[in-house]
A and B are shown apart, each in its own frame.
Chain A
Amino acid sequence: RKEVEQDPGPFNVPEGATVAFNCTYSNSASQSFFWYRQDCRKEPKLLMSVYSSGNEDGRFTAQLNRASQYISLLIRDSKLSDSATYLCVVNDEGKLIFGQGTELSVKP
């Protein structure tokens, strides 16, 4: 089993749609969690950290379910500029492990 798993997509959605991504992790001792965004041919950049109580940043909401070992990212009112690959990242006792990424394409 992979340490961090994501649905690779692609997710093709119209502008204004709400879209959700999930990510599961295998090590229950994992300490912290993040979502990164990667544009085509660019390096990954931090989108948001994921806190135990869930957290929101504008149109983006991240949640953590430790019991089921998954994290999620919800994007509301999606924009064309949201088109990218979304990577979940798990801090596995110091190692920062990336999922394979979920590709999102937002269409007009």
Chain B
Amino acid sequence: DTGVSQDPRHKITKRGQNVTFRCDPISEHNRLYWYRQTLGQGPEFLTYFQNEAQLEKSRLLSDRFSAERPKGSFSTLEIQRTEQGDSAMYLCASLRPGELFFGEGSRLTVL
């Protein structure tokens, strides 16, 4: 158990619906990262936070994706108007200097 928890673990939705994922990092970790991973690929960087501040968002990320970390603790990742191409594993990780600790991920399937 790495201490990073993600919810839900699995989400099946219809195209066009909105989905939200939640990540609870290890409590003393200030940095939190979101990644997306598809089969046969490495985790693709989406965005990251230092406490409540969003420091960078991937240029590859469309405006349908938004992430927040309002109190510098848990974070949410929302995808609006989902598309089939959004089907992937969404991974959250929190950082201790030199090491990322990942949650088990939230798997999204868009029908």
Taking Cβ atoms with an 8 Å cutoff, the residues of A that contact B are 4, 6, 8, 32, 34, 36, 42-46, 49, 87, 89, 94-101
| Given A32-B98, A44-B100, A100-B42, 17 new contacts (CB under 8 A) | A4-B42, A8-B40, A43-B91, A43-B102, A43-B105, A44-B91, A46-B99, A87-B42, A94-B56, A95-B45, A95-B56, A96-B95, A97-B45, A98-B35, A98-B44, A98-B45, A100-B40
Q: Quote the shortest CB–CB distance from A69 to chain B (angstroms).
A: 18
Across the interface, which residues of A come within 8 angstroms of B41, CB to CB? 100-101
**B2 at the binding interface (Cβ < 8 Å):** yes
Number of interface residues of B (CB under 8 A): 21
> How many residue pairs, one in A and one in B, have C-beta atoms under 8 Å apart?
50
- Does B100 contact A94, Cβ atoms closer than 8 Å? no
Across the interface, which residues of A come within 8 angstroms of B48, CB to CB? 94-96
- Does B45 contact A99, Cβ atoms closer than 8 Å? no
Measured between alpha carbons, how far is A97 from B43 in the docked complex, in Å? 8
- Does B45 contact A94, Cβ atoms closer than 8 Å? no
Chain B residue at smallest Cβ distance from A99:
B42
From 31 to 55 in chain B, residues with beta carbon under 8 angstroms from any chain A beta carbon are: 33, 35, 40-45, 48, 55
A-B pairs with beta carbons under 8 Å apart, 12 shown = A6-B42, A8-B40, A34-B99, A87-B42, A87-B43, A95-B48, A96-B45, A98-B35, A98-B42, A98-B45, A100-B42, A101-B40
